[in-house]
Structure formats: structure tokens, C-alpha cells
Structure 1
Amino acid sequence: MSKSAAKDFANPAEDRAGRRIDPDVLSVLRSCTADEEGVTLPPTQLDRKLYVRVNEVLTALGGKWNGRRKKHVFDEDPREILAVAQSTGSYMSPKDFGFFPTPPDLARQLIEFADLEPGMLVLEPSAGHGALLDLAAAVVGRENVVGVELLEANLKKLAEKGYATMAGDFLSMEPEPIFDRVVMNPPFSGLADIAHVQHAARFLKPDGKLVAITSPSFTYHSSKKAQAFRDLLDSAGELLAEIEAGAFKSSGTDVRTVMLTLDADRLPWNLDETDSQSSSERMAA
């Protein structure tokens, strides 16, 4: 991969500004009250069209209208997420974060490609509900898997399963090359998947391996980032499988995907280090 291509991958980041809330909808939300189980609308009759738009936001935040309780009921305490929406005038749903759980058949296929062995240390960025961690833990041991997750509800599920987790935006985390394997199904929107894969590769040991499910968009996209990723894949990995639309239907999307792998010993930064060590050894001799 050229220096210019490598530059295109440096310091990956994503815009997480969220969806803006229309002023009239925001006014209603700021008049809502919330307790540990749900959100109650203000005691005024809302225009039907306005109610539909308010309901859209509350549903995206995780609520569901309950006529008996006369409130939008949430699985998790909604007070914090409502307060964020009220103060920022924007909101995000799990789908905005690209959260589409890995279907069981694809998860098993990915884990097979990862060639796991007992005792290996395994990372799953954007771990979701732990579909890949569950299968990896069965091989390497629960104590040897680590998940990264941004959504609070998913973090709670991972904690209930007993997994070690790192909370936050994966792309903002400083890489530490300690993992034998990375297994991942990252967010796809706006080439976010290739940014996640490239960043995740820096968490691998020099002899480690990454296996990921991504969108196929990098294979035909004309951007510099997509070209740089194609160069990276050519030098350090390969496409393992093309997955037809419909495989993720149970998770709420019909997007086509691919499965790919990267071998750490062929990554540019590890090759550069190897070349540098060889030069030093020759000079010492």
C-alpha cells in the first residue's frame, strides 16, 4: 500500500451527530416526563400528524406505545436518552449506529474462518449482543474474549453474559496489538466498515488474524479510501465469501455483504517493522 493510500486511512472517525429533531417535535419532547419504565406525553391533545412524528422519535429511541399505561414503555430506563434528545435536539437509534446482529449461520462461518485455538485472546469490536463472542468463547474460553460496544443496552446484555467489555466509540480507541484474533461485523454506512476493519487490524499481534463481514461497496467505490482498502486487501488478505442479499433479513436489512480476512504478518506496518529490524541486524553484523 502506498504512503498516500495509507494516509487515507489515518485517524478514522465517524460523524455521530444523529438525526435532527424538528422544532415542533422537540417542543413536545421537552414537555414530556419520564420515569424508569417509560415516557409520558404532555397532557394536551396533539395534532395527529405531529403525534406521528413524535412517536417516530420515541420509537427510534426504543419506546413502544402502551395504551393501558398511557405512555411509551422502554426495556431500559429512558430518562437519560430522553434528556440527551431534549438537550441536543437530535437522536440516534441502534440502526443509526449500523447495529445489525450477525445471523447464527454467518457467525458460525466467520468463526470457522478465524481458526481459533484454546487460550487465544479474541476481540470483537461493535460487539452488539455478542453473537461472535458467544461462539469464540466456546473455543478460547470466556475469560479470553473482549467486546467493544457503544450502545448502553448492548453493553448491559454483554455484561449479563459475563464478558469483559470496553465501552465507547471503537474508532476513538488507541490500538494495543495484543489480540490473536479479531472477529467483527462493523457498521457499513458511508464506508464505515473499512475504517473499522483497518483500525481493528492494529489491535492484532504481528502473527494475528482478522475476519470480518463488510459491505461489498469498497470493491467498486471510486474513493481514495476504497482504493486504499483494496490495496490493503490485495497485499494482506483476501475475500473469503460473497454473501447474497437476504442473509441479514432477520436482523432488519437485505444488504449484500462479503466476508474477508487480513493476516497481520502481511500488514504494511508489520512489514515495515520487519524490514527495519532486518536492516538493523545487517548493520550490526
Structure 2
Amino acid sequence: MLIAKAVCRELELAVCDGPVVRLREGVDPVVADGVHRVLTRSGACWSFRQRAYVFADLYPSGRAAELVERIVARRCAVPRPDRGVVSCPQSIAELLWSEIPHGEGMEALEPSAGHGVLAAEGAARGWVMDCYEIDGDRAADITRAGIARTVGTADFLTIEARAEYDAVVMYPPHRRNVAVEHILHAHRFLRPGGVLGALVSIGIENTAGPAGRKFQELLKCSSYIHVLDDHDFEDGYLLSPTGLRLRAQLLYLYADDAQG
């Protein structure tokens, strides 16, 4: 269905800043509703904090302007087959990092970094960041953004663990068993005294099987969990690969001795 010319006009006048699209003040409510529908159908979320639309899967270095241009050219919402990786919302990235103590020269890793939102926030706070990302295009985006010291293009689970980081920050896959596998592997990259912070779905602590039992042992030894509510999400929410909204929590695991 074609969108109205007035909606296209407002999109042409919108200001695009990276993944953010900001409309003019005082837009006619009917036109604003049309803009809302076409942007959200194209993958954007309304951010109350920024008072703008945010394409969360384009953080930190993607360009919403190119999507808006496609919408205007086609006069309809654009399909997004590349939306398979939805980034950690910026407000949650800030909250996750706020619980991790920082000192000068400290080093952190974002495994399976996606678009590098957590790495970008860490770099902004003065951390020396390294990343792994399996997709070459997304890895190149992180490299171009200049937020990481190194960016490895690889499946993180194939990387030999090295206990050399003060922190690991991650948004692992949603499926419980896969998420636990990523977390257990990432925990082995921590130096003694380091901390792993992860955005995970509610219920991950109930993962079954050998990996689940090992994960539960870690939780009992040294962990902290912050369950997220709607007030924590200032710029969107979490979606599963099937498009369902997820309840989530921030999980912190500490490394008080050498990893085995």
C-alpha cells in the first residue's frame, strides 16, 4: 500500500543521525501517524528518551538515512531481511556498563558483537575494546566506526579461550542452551577478578543438561541479576527471532580465581 505524499514529504524533511530519525516539530497528527506506521513497519522503534525513531539494529554505525531514502523512493515500508541481528537497546547498554567498575587501561571483549552497541558504549567510557563478529559486513562496520582495538571475523565459539580481559560484555543468542554455551565460553576469557555482563532472557538459569548444570554452579558461586522492566527500556524493547517481545534481565558473573 502506497503511503501519502505528505508522509513522504515529512520523511524527506526528517533529520537522520546515524540510526536515529527525528521529525520536525509540530507535524500534523494525521501525517505523524502515517510516518509512525511506515517507520515501525520498516523496523524502527520510538525512543521516548531521544524523542525520535531509532533503528536499533543499526547501532552504532549504520545509517537510517539510506532506509528513509528507500521508503520515499518506493512510497511504502521497506522489507528488512537483514534484521536478524537486533542490537542491545542503547539504554540497556548504558545500564549494563554502569554495574562494571572501570580503571585506566582496562580491557574488555564483546563476543558475537553484532553491530557493536556494547563495544561502542564501552569505548565511550574509556575501555579498550576487542570484538568478534561472525558476519563480515557487520565486523567491517565496527572496524570503520573505530570503537574497537581489534575486530575478529569469526564464530566466537571457535576461538580458543584466553583469560586476558577485565570484562566481557555480551548479548548472546536467545535460545537458552545456545546462550549458556556462549556465556560459559566467554567466562573463560576473564582475568581473575574480572566480570562478565550479559543481557539474557528470563529463565536462562533453568537451562537443562550438562552445560545448564555448570552454568547454575557459576550462578551459585558469584553472580548478580537485575531483572529489567519497561522503565529500563527507553529506546525500544527486545524481540525474539520470531518477533515476540521478551522479558529480560542483566546477568553478571564474576571470576574470582583462574578459569578452567
TM-score range, shorter chain: 0.5 to 0.7
Structure 2 CA distance for aligned equivalents of residues 154 and 257 of structure 1 = 24
What's 1:110 paired with? 96
1:199 aligned residue (178, 181, 185): 185
Q: Determine if the alignment matches structure 1 residue 257 to structure 2 residue 251.
A: no
Equivalent position SS for 2:140: helix
What's 1:248 paired with? 238
Equivalent position SS for 1:255: coil
Give yes or no for contact 1:205–1:264 (8 Å, CA) kept in 2: yes
Q: Deviations over 1:62-109 (max 9, x none)?
A: xx999x99xxx999xxxxxxxxxxxxxxxx9662xxx22000110000
What's 1:137 paired with? 123
Structure 1 CA distance for aligned equivalents of residues 191 and 257 of structure 2 = 12
Classify 1:267/1:238 alpha carbon distance in 2 versus 1 (closer, same or farther; 3 Å): farther
Question: 1:170: how far off?
Answer: 0.2
Q: TM-score, normalising length from structure 1?
A: 0.55
Equivalent position SS for 1:140: coil
1:172 aligned residue (154, 158, 183): 158
Deviates more, 1:130-139 or 1:215-224: 215-224
Classify 1:74/1:147 alpha carbon distance in 2 versus 1 (closer, same or farther; 3 Å): farther
Structure 1 CA distance for aligned equivalents of residues 87 and 183 of structure 2 = 17
Question: 1:221: how far off?
Answer: 3.8
Structure 2 CA distance for aligned equivalents of residues 247 and 206 of structure 1 = 33
Question: 1:193: how far off?
Answer: 1.1
Give yes or no for contact 1:177–1:204 (8 Å, CA) kept in 2: yes
What amino acid does structure 2 have at the position aligned with 1:218?
I
Q: TM-score, normalising length from structure 2?
A: 0.60
Structure of higher CA gyration radius = 1
Q: Determine if the alignment matches structure 1 residue 127 to structure 2 residue 117.
A: no
- Where structure 2 has 5 or more consecutive residues not aligned to the other structure, the ranges are 1-66
Question: 1:220: how far off?
Answer: 3.1
Q: Which has the higher helix share?
A: 1
Question: 1:135: how far off?
Answer: 1.2
Structure 1 CA distance for aligned equivalents of residues 183 and 126 of structure 2 = 22
1:161 aligned residue (122, 145, 162): 145
Classify 1:250/1:118 alpha carbon distance in 2 versus 1 (closer, same or farther; 3 Å): farther
Give yes or no for contact 1:211–1:262 (8 Å, CA) kept in 2: yes
Q: Deviations over 1:125-169 (max 9, x none)?
A: 11111111111112225xx11111011221121011122201100
The alignment yields a C-alpha RMSD, in angstroms, of: 3.3
Structure 1 CA distance for aligned equivalents of residues 79 and 198 of structure 2 = 32
- Where structure 1 has 5 or more consecutive residues not aligned to the other structure, the ranges are 1-63, 76-91, 270-285
Structure 2 CA distance for aligned equivalents of residues 223 and 93 of structure 1 = 32
